[in-house]
Structure 1
Amino acid sequence: MVWINGESQNSLAAADRAVHFGDGCFTTARIVEGQILALDAHLQRLAAGCERLRIAAVDWGALRAEMTYAASQRSEGVLKTIISRGSGGRGYSAAGCDSPTRILYLSPYPQHYARLRETGARLTLSSVRLGQNPLLAGIKHLNRLEQVLIRTELEQTEADEALVLDTEGLLVECCAANLFWRRGEQVYTPDLRASGVEGIQRQWVIRQLKEQGIALHEVRMPPDTLADADEVFITNALMPVVPVRQIDRWHYASRQLFNLITGRNV
C-alpha cells in the first residue's frame, strides 16, 4: 500500500526531485500491533534529515497522522516514509520548491530477522567502499546507490549481511545495519562522522550501554580489529538487534552483551 501526500495512489510526478536527484530523506519503521515503534524518533530523524538538506515547509502534523493511519492497516509490518523536496526548481536549483512530497510505503515484516536473532548472522566483507562526505554522513538521504551495489554483490554470496568499509579501508557499517563489537569489557562502534547512517536502533543501544555504565568507543579502525573481538552484533530498526556468528574466517560464540541489552537470560 502506498500513500502520497495523504492520498492512496502509486503515481509520483515525473518532475519530483526524488526522481531526478534523490533529493530527500527517508526512515524505515517497524509496526507492531498496528503501531509504529519509536514513532517520535523516526519523525525526529526525518526532521534532522530535512534540516541538513534544507528542505522546509514539511507538514509534520499531517505526516504524523498519515503514518499513524498507515500503521493501523497492519498488525505487523514495515512502514517506509519518504520526504522529497517535491517538484520545482530549474536544474539543480531548488528555488520555488515549497511543497515537499510525503510518500508512505507499507510492506510485510521480514520474517528472517527472527531466525537470525536465534542463529546469528553471517557477514562477508564487501568490495564496495563508501565515499566520505561529512555533509551528508549520518542522515538517511535518498542517494543509496552505494547500498544498491553492496546488496547486489551480497546476493551473489551465502552471507546474511555485508561488512562495509570506507574509501580509507576503515569500518563503517553493514549494508542495512549498524555495527558493534565487544573486546573484554570494552564496546566499540564505528565513528560515523564521515560516512554511514546513524540508525535509530544504534542510538537506542548507545543509550542502553550508558545506562548500564558500559564504556563505548566510537572508533575509526580497519576490519582486522574484529579478528580478536569476543562478540559482534548488528542493529537496525527492524531487526532490531542481531548477534553475528561469523565474518568470513572469523567466528564468534559469545552473546554476553547481546543478552544484556536485549533482556535475555544469560
Structure 2
Amino acid sequence: MAVRTLINGAPIEVVPALDRGLAYGDGLFESIRFVGAVAPLWSRHMQRLALSCERLRLPVPDPAQLWREALDVSRGMTQSVVRITLTRGIGERGYALPLLPQPTRIVAAFAPPQLSEEVYSNGVRVRLCDIRLAEQPLLAGMKHLNRLEQVLARAEWNDPAIAEGLLCDSHDRVISATMANLFALVDGVLLTPAVDRCGVAGVARAEVLATCPLAQVDTLTLDAVLEASEVFLSSSVRGILPVHSLGERVYATGAVTRQLQQHWHNLGFSMEQGG
C-alpha cells in the first residue's frame, strides 16, 4: 500500500521511539475524505480536532498548515483519505505532561476503501459484538489514539460478508459500530446514541444531525434498533451506509437513508468507493 507521509512537514516515515503517541496513545487523529483537492467536511474535522486538543491539553495545530500538508500528500489523487495524527511528541519516561510539549504532526494520504454501488444500494450486514465499550466521560467523543476496544471488536469475526460490528456499553445501550456512528428510525423519529460517556462523536454524525434538525440524540436499546424501520451507518470516509441486516433482522433501505445519501452526493462525494 503506497502511502505519502509528512512528519512535522518533512517527507519521512519514522517516528521517534520515545514519542508519547507510541508509548501512551497520547494524541488524536482525524481521517478526512478528499475528492481531488476538496474536502467537504474539512471544517467539521478541524472543529473536532481543536476541541479535542483543548480537552487533552494539547497545543492546537494551525489549520492552514494542516491544509497545505494535506494537499501536498494527496496531490494527484482523484480520491483519497488523509489521516492527520497529532501526538504530544517526545517526552521523558512517565505519565507527567511535558512542561514544554513539542507535538508530533503526521499527515498521510491513503487510497480510499473500495465499496461497490451495490453496498450503497442494498446495505451492509452487521453483527453484535461481545466486547462492551468502557465508560470514560473525560475521553468520550474524541478521536483519541487508543482504539484497542475497536481492534478487539473487529477481531471477533472474519466473515467477509459481515462489514461491521455493533458496539454496546456495559449497560447494553447501543453506542456505535466499530468504524461508524449509527442512526435508527424508530416510530418515525430518527435517533442516534449519545456519546458523552463512550464512543466517538463522528464528523459525519454531526453533518447528519445538522441536516436533520428533528433527529434526536438519546439512549438507544438493542430492542429499539431491532424494531427500527430503517438503520444506517454514518462515516466521514464511507458516507451513509444502509444496514441490510443485524443478525437475523433484515431491513429495507428507506426514504430517510436515501435522502441522506443524496445529501452526501450533493456535498461532492461519489456514491461509490467510500463516498
1:227 and 2:226 correspond: yes
Q: Of residues 155, 175, 178 in structure 2, which corresponds to 1:152?
A: 155
* Aligned partner letter, 2:236: A
Shift of 1:118: 1.9
Equivalent residues of 1:121, 1:243 under 8 A apart = yes
Name the CA distance, whole Å, in 2 between partners of 1:207 and 1:171: 21
Aligned residue for 2:127?
124
Deviation, structure 1 residue 33: 1.8
The match for 1:249 is: 248
Q: 1:53 and 1:263, CA in 2 relative to 1: closer, same or farther beyond 3 A?
A: same
Deviation track 1:66-125 (CA, whole Å, cap 9, x = no partner) reads 123223241111111100010124400112342111001211111126442122011000
8 Å CA contact 1:35, 1:71 repeated in 2: no
Length-normalised TM-score, structure 1: 0.92
Post-superposition Cα deviations, 1:158-191, rounded to whole Å, max 9, x if no partner, equal 3110010011111000000000010232111101
Contact 2:27 2:144 in 1 (8 A): yes
Partner of 1:126, secondary structure, is strand
> 1:69 aligned to 2:72?
yes
SS at match of 2:17: coil
- One-letter amino acid matched to 1:129: R
Instruction: Indicate yes or no: 2:59 matched with 1:56.
Output: yes
Quote how far apart the aligned CAs of 1:57 are: 5.7
> For the residues of structure 2 that align with 1:99 and 1:245, how far apart are their CA atoms?
46
Gaps of at least 5 residues in structure 2 are 264-275
Counterpart Cα distance in 2 of 1:106 and 1:56: 23
Q: Are the equivalent residues in 2 in contact too, given 1:25–1:84 (CA < 8 A)?
A: yes
SS in 1 for 2:120: helix
SS state at 1:141 partner: coil
On the 8 A contact 1:182/1:229 being kept in 2, the answer is: yes
Distance 1:108 1:57, change over 3 A: closer
Q: Output the amino acid matched with 2:110.
A: S
Deviates more, 1:220-229 or 1:238-247: 220-229
Separation in structure 2 between the aligned mates of residue 57 and residue 76 of structure 1, nearest angstrom? 27
* Aligned residues of 1:35 and 1:72 also touching (Cα < 8 A): no
**Residue number among 100, 103, 108 corresponding to 1:100 in the alignment:** 103
Instruction: Compute the displacement of 1:36 (Å).
Output: 2.4
Unaligned runs of 5+ in 1: none
- 2:247 maps to amino acid: D
Which residue of the partner structure matches residue 175 of structure 1? 178
C-alpha contact (below 8 Å) 1:24/1:84 kept by paired residues: yes
Equivalent in the alignment of 1:17? 20
Aligned pair count reads 260
CA RMSD of aligned residues (A): 1.7
Structure 1: distance between partners of 2:118 and 2:18: 42
State yes or no: 1:207 paired with 2:210.
Answer: yes
2:88 matched to which residue of 1?
Answer: 85
